[in-house]
Amino acid sequence: MKPTDYNFRVKDSIMGLQFLFVAFGALVLVPILTGLDPNVALFTAGIGTLVFQFVNRNCVPPIFLASSFAFIAPISYGVATWGIPATMSGLVAAGFIYIILSFLIRLKGDNFIHKLLPAVVVGPVIISIGLILSPVAVNMAMGKTGDGAVQLVPFDQAIVISMVALLVTILVSLLGKGMFKLVPILMGITVGYLISLYFGLIDFSKVTTASWFAMPNFVAPEFNWQAIIYILPIAIAPAIEHIGDMLAISNVTKQDYLKKPGLKNTLLGDGLATSVASLFGGPPNTTYSEVTGAVTVTKAYNPAIMTWAAIFAILLAFVGKLGALLATIPVPVMGGIMLLLFGIIATLGISTLSKSNVDFSCPRNMAIVSMILVFSIGGMTFNFGGVPFAGIGLGAIVGIILNLVLPKAL
């Protein structure tokens, strides 16, 4: 079957549920870490995938969209600083960055985005995302709150749970076979959860009282300029990640999705999916490499499979007991998984620089990379008209400006 064939079959629905299982661990991890509702994230992943498919209906890539890791830090900061509704306004605006890029590509061609956002800018931005998050992962792995202020679980128990969850995740990713290799996060969470049960850390009272059918806690955006300006530049990194994901699925299916439907359409679909998700109070969407891996293993190229995965995600969003069960996952379990995930994010940034052969003997490149890292991680803040620019967003803006204005080496 060609990737563009779109036929509904019974076995496709079963395969769709299996692909949702592959994405599930990462999908619910983002809302759990950032204070959003996992059931809303399930709903918006399903809706976002359907929006993406509608935009690219003339040639639908077999991909699934769900919670983006790149936005964990800004969502966490935004929720703590301005609240969920205001943070959602920033995430809606982030989706518009994708949309703007898609129209610029229509006008200027695919090479435009590589000139505006070369590896020397994108690489250190991705590195910053991982490193800024690392203290949160360490604190949670030790049984503390993300800021380290409160000890939630005794250290001796927390460190055992987090290290076992981490080890299982690594071993499954390295040694797992077939579909098991694609769900290391889910396996790590499961084993960590069982150990937490042994230590008596899990309270099921809210699960027993939760109803089977419940409306997800949808949250409408509330306009906030500070949140918008803070979050907007962070969309740069996942926009570039989107291009890599399109290349990956093209290699798997042997069909060039960069030409048809083209980046101008796939970026548009991703941007609309992100903005729509945020209108309901869900995290931004991104194409999931785990699901692309599952497509590689199963050779299941029919896009209808992803439609089924989206439908199942929407249906599960209304299962109240599922949300209550996810809320019982102890902090050390999530911390152990985060140690690996945030390290991987930083490593992907290094890989981006390496694959593009960025020359670090060049003073221009050294200046751009160093300024992005120091401004992002060091906490530099600029105020323009009372609006603060800080963190990853400031680092990204500085990198883009330096890349445009610094003279090339002769």
Summarize pLDDT for 114-158 with one digit per residue, the tens. Answer: 787 788 988 888 888 788 878 888 998 999 987 788 898 999 999
pLDDT band, very low/low/confident/very high, at 67 (cuts 50, 70, 90): confident
- Please compute, for residue 179, the number of CA atoms within 13 A of its CA located in the half-sphere on the CB side: 12
pLDDT, tens only, 249-282: 787 788 888 788 888 899 999 999 999 999 999 9
Identify each DSSP E strand in 257-404 by its residue range.
285-287, 381-384, 387-390
Q: Of 287, 299, 219, whose CA–CA distance to 51 is shortest?
A: 287
Residues 205-250: pLDDT tens digits? 888 888 999 899 999 999 998 888 888 877 877 777 787 778 777 8
β-strands 387-390, 381-384: how paired?
Answer: antiparallel
Confidence at 7, pLDDT banded by 50, 70, 90: low
Name the pLDDT band for 21 (thresholds 50, 70, 90): confident
- Range from 6-10, 85-89, 214-218, 256-260 carrying the lowest mean pLDDT: 6-10
The pLDDT assigned to 105 comes to 87
Q: Name the pTM for this structure.
A: 0.78
Tell whether the model's pLDDT for residue 396 goes beyond 80.
yes
Which range is most confident: 43-57, 142-156, 244-258, 327-341? 43-57
Q: What is the mean pLDDT of residues 357-373?
A: 93
* Amino acid symbol at 242: H
Q: Tell the residue number behind the tokens 């991680």, with chain if given.
A: 377
Return the higher-pLDDT residue of 261 and 177. Answer: 261
Tell me the pLDDT band of 405, cut-offs 50, 70 and 90: very high
Q: What is the mean pLDDT of the chain?
A: 85
pLDDT in tens, 184-212: 888 888 999 999 999 999 988 888 888 99
Question: For position 322, what pLDDT does the model report?
Answer: 86
Q: For position 150, what pLDDT does the model report?
A: 85
What size, in residues, is the chain?
A: 410
Tell me what pLDDT residue 385 has. 64
Contact 62, 303 (CB under 8 A): yes
Please give the pLDDT value at position 1: 46
pLDDT tens readout for residues 164-176? 999 998 998 888 8
Cα 94 from Cα 92, distance rounded (Å): 5
Percentage of the chain exceeding pLDDT 90: 32
> Averaged over 281-305, what is the pLDDT?
80
Selection from 6-15, 58-67, 83-92 with the highest mean pLDDT: 83-92
Q: Classify 357 as helix, strand or coil.
A: coil
Residue with the larger pLDDT of the pair 23 and 357: 357
**Is residue 191 classed as helix, strand or coil in its secondary structure?**
helix
Token code pair at residue 308: 């089924």
The pLDDT of residue 4 is above 80: no
- 199's tokens: 């230590």
